[in-house]
Amino acid sequence: MGWLWWVGGALTLGILEMLSLDLVLVMFAGGALAGALAYALGAPLAVQIVVAALTSTILLVTLRPWLLRHLKGRVDLPETNAAALVGRPAVVVSTVDGTTGRVKLVGEVWTARTADGGALPPGTAVTVTKIDGATAVVSPAAATATGDTAAPGVAPA
């Protein structure tokens, strides 16, 4: 009857993995199945726990990196959070120099500084080159074919 606890734990971890999609809990589920196998072979509880822990560790160290490499090679994973802001257009709200300033980025006002240390006046179209903590590092946007430097979809504040 003890193997049911191991299998129940493996199923629970498998369900939770479907919610997290980190490929971590499924490795612990594999360890739990190894613990169930150890129980079926008549091992004492301490050995079952060691087998489950060792199997989980081995799966985390070997199988998970391999699965992640193959998953990222097959599916384009979109950037999220701050990483998604790099390359986005913005407009200078208050003068931006090498240490301080403000830009309007995706509808929000961000603290900003220039990448090269130069000063940019309000209304200048810029492009985010990096996010450094809560500060957008910006560079002047390249002029469009018509000579207009306004960032698309972003109105000056």
Beta bridge partner(s), residue 16: none
- Looking at residue 157, its pLDDT comes to 44
Per-residue confidence of the chain (157 residues) as pLDDT tens digits? Answer: 778 888 998 999 989 988 888 888 899 999 999 999 999 999 999 999 999 999 999 999 999 898 888 887 776 656 657 778 888 899 999 999 988 999 998 888 999 999 888 899 999 999 999 888 888 999 998 753 334 444 444 444 4
- Looking at residue 76, its pLDDT comes to 66
- Looking at residue 49, its pLDDT comes to 93
Q: What is the pLDDT of residues 11-33, one digit of tens each?
A: 999 899 888 888 888 999 999 99
- Looking at residue 90, its pLDDT comes to 93
- Looking at residue 52, its pLDDT comes to 94
> DSSP E strands: which ranges in 71-148?
89-94, 102-105, 108-114, 125-132, 135-140
Cβ 64 vs Cβ 21: under 8 Å: no
138's tokens:
């910006």
